[in-house]
A and B are shown apart, each in its own frame.
Chain A
Amino acid sequence: MVEGTLSSGGLSVDLSVRRSDDFELTLQVEIPTGATVALLGPNGAGKSSAVAAIAGLLPIDRGRVELNGTVLDDPAAGVCLPAEERNIGVVFQDYLLFPHMTVLDNVAFGLRSRRLSRDHAQARASEWLARLGLDGLERRRPGDLSGGQAQRVALARALVTEPDLLLLDEPLAALDVTTRSEMRHTLAGHLAAFTGPRLLITHDPTEAFLLADVVHVIENGSVTQHGTADEIRLRPRTSYAADLAGSNLIGGTATAGLVDTGTQTVQIADVEVAGRVLLTIHPTAIAVHNAQPEGSPRNSWPTTVESVERLGPRVRLMTGPPLRLAVELTQSARDEMKLEPGTSVWVSVKATEIGVQADHQGQAG
């Protein structure tokens, strides 16, 4: 749905940047207007270089970057539009709010740089602050803001100039865990309200899967896999992608240590949490048995093996209803249990192996 040529605008990236003798980033991404693409990868994978290159802060060595039909970079043709002429809104890692300016001046900065009068710029900046629920903070300095407030100021600063593209570099990484899940939802709302293409850079699979339409997994400077969240989560193509992104992610409603996923009740360790939650279960935390396990974890149920895939030295299974789960085990365990598509098995998982986070607004999907 999101792949294809960009007849109606959007971002088209095909670039290569050499950062050092042994590190080169190559990236091919197309983002149609109104779509969000995530670059998911660990630190050092080249994600921030991608942001810098697209934003015009880092010259590319080869390739072509095009935004809404305008060529931003084409070194072969000698084109490299300076950053200040690109009209790209960037939310930087750590936000990079100017510490010597008030919140209002930070947000008005882009408008002032475009020669808007001070009054006009500040009025528009105030509107955006209000829209992001930040009214009353105009006169504060960035140093006096909470992480969540700083993130929204950074978002306001990036959006106030009505950019053609929104780049978000680890927008939630600087927040603590509780604020993060809250801000993820706020962010999802603002992403949806922004009409242009959006590129999200993150190392957090949950963030990528929940916010992006298409996820590109990036390892050592190149994309190893791309697809929808489900495609990557259920069929990771490299062992790295499996480790990074292959966790099972299940939504449900928690009450007193039990989570109802709609098809199965799962026991969790946290008895305090209530309401909508997201459960993460790592594929290696799930055990597979030929028969009903005795006396052990209470989270166990019968199911069938739907698919079996080799993944390096490991094997990755998908199990069927009641809960579709990715399970990883060794090749020898698979041989012992003679696991093939269609085999009836029991799976079990300890409550303590299930990650639980509050899901603030009933996640759709």
Chain B
Amino acid sequence: MSHLKKRRVAPGRPPPFLVVLACLGLVVFVVPLAGLLARVPWSQMPRILASDVVGDALRLSLVASLSATAIALVLGVPLAWVLARVEFPGRSVVRGLITLPLVLPPVVGGAALLFALGRRGLVGEPLGELTGLLLPFSTWGVVVATTFVAMPFLVITVEGALRNMDRRFEGAAETLGASRWTVMRRVTLPMIAPSLIAGLVLTWARAFGEFGATVTFAGNLQGRTQTLPLAVFVALESERDTAVAISLVMVVISLAVLIALRDRWWRAL
């Protein structure tokens, strides 16, 4: 008993070894950021950011990441709802398929997209013949690649929320005369709103930073498929200052979004 007493920590004071480990954990995040900040060519920033390469990449990144988030919202919420509420054979297989992009190297995902939707692909060839649409090396290809990689975040977050939700509230709404659509719109979605928004933010963040699948499937064409991460990768070879400047832009945008939404919406995560 006495040795237990000795180890006891004053109330409210965390154990020292935990604090040390926590600081080390923080270092993992802070050091790379500090390294980046140390190399920022502050005086060159306006010129670099005004360049066409950066402007094109920024525009494309915003378009692609927001499109992917919108598609994830429209398709991912129903998918999550079906997974959470409908029992069907092979549900766990479907659930596994959806989580696959989370663990798969993005370059493998990009290659798979190429084999499926490429000019000679399983779906890509008939699609091209019917509509003339060619996804690879187009902006639509970027959207498809980022959606593939990012949508699982939304589906998983929303499915979890739907499964944890107390469904008796939906029953209560039904007895009050609400149609299924009204129940969904006025009860289900508002009740899972914190998770839905957290899922959207995660999806957007993942889409905004997407690199591997995009470069494999959509290529690296300035103004058409070159997003910010791709521009950074290219610039690292030749113009370090540009690479650092674009990286800083990405850090600032991502951080701003995450911090702005964190306190209001992230408690669900």
Contacts and interface: CB of A to CB of B under 8 A. Distances in A.
Partners in one complex: yes
Interface centre among B169, B171, B174, B176 (most CB of A within 10 A): B176
Interface of B: 166, 168-169, 171-179, 182, 186-187, 190-191, 193
Given A99-B191, A100-B193, A84 B174 contact: yes
A109 B175 contact: no
25 contacts: A55-B175, A57-B174, A57-B175, A83-B175, A84-B175, A84-B177, A84-B179, A85-B177, A86-B175, A88-B175, A89-B175, A92-B172, A96-B171, A98-B172, A98-B190, A98-B191, A99-B191, A109-B173, A109-B176, A110-B177, A110-B178, A113-B173, A113-B179, A113-B182, A161-B177
Contacts of B169: 96, 98
A121 to B, nearest CB: 11
A35 to B, nearest CB: 21
A57 B174 CA distance: 8
B178 A84 contact: yes
A55 B166 CA distance: 18
Contacts of A157: 176
Interface of A: 52, 55-57, 82-90, 92, 96, 98-101, 109-110, 112-114, 157, 161
Contacts of B166: 96
Contacts of B191: 98-100
Most buried by A among B171, B172, B173: B172
A56 B176 contact: no
Given A89-B175, A109-B173, 4 more contacts: A96-B172, A101-B190, A109-B186, A161-B176
Contacts, number: 61
Nearest to A114: B177
A320 B175 CA distance: 48
A101 B166 CA distance: 16
B176 A113 contact: yes
B9 to A, nearest CB: 34
Q: Main SS of chain B's interface residues?
A: helix
Contacts of B187: 98
A83 B174 CA distance: 6
A83 B171 contact: yes
A113 B168 CA distance: 17
Nearest to A96: B172
Contacts of A84: 174-179
A83 B177 CA distance: 7
Contact of B178 (A52, A86, A113): A113
A113 B187 CA distance: 12
B33 to A, nearest CB: 37
Contacts of B193: 100
B85 to A, nearest CB: 15
A28 B80 CA distance: 40
Contacts of B176: 84, 109-110, 113, 157, 161
A57 B179 contact: no
**Most chain B CB atoms below 10 A, which of A55, A98, A112, A157:** A98
Contacts of B175: 55-57, 83-84, 86, 88-90
A95 to B, nearest CB: 9
A87 B168 CA distance: 18
Contacts of A112: 186
Nearest to A52: B171
Nearest to B190: A100
Nearest to A105: B186
A163 to B, nearest CB: 9
Contacts of A90: 172, 175
A197 to B, nearest CB: 16
B171 A113 contact: no
A191 B67 CA distance: 54
Most buried by A among B166, B175, B187, B193: B175
A328 B31 CA distance: 79
A92 B174 CA distance: 13
B177 A82 contact: no
Nearest to A48: B168
Most buried by A among B166, B168, B174, B178: B174
A296 to B, nearest CB: 49
A85 B177 CA distance: 6
A77 to B, nearest CB: 22
A201 to B, nearest CB: 14
B171 A55 contact: yes
Nearest to B193: A100
Contacts of B172: 90, 92, 96, 98
Contacts of B186: 109, 112
A90 B172 CA distance: 8
B67 to A, nearest CB: 29
A166 B193 CA distance: 32
Contacts of A113: 173, 176-179, 182
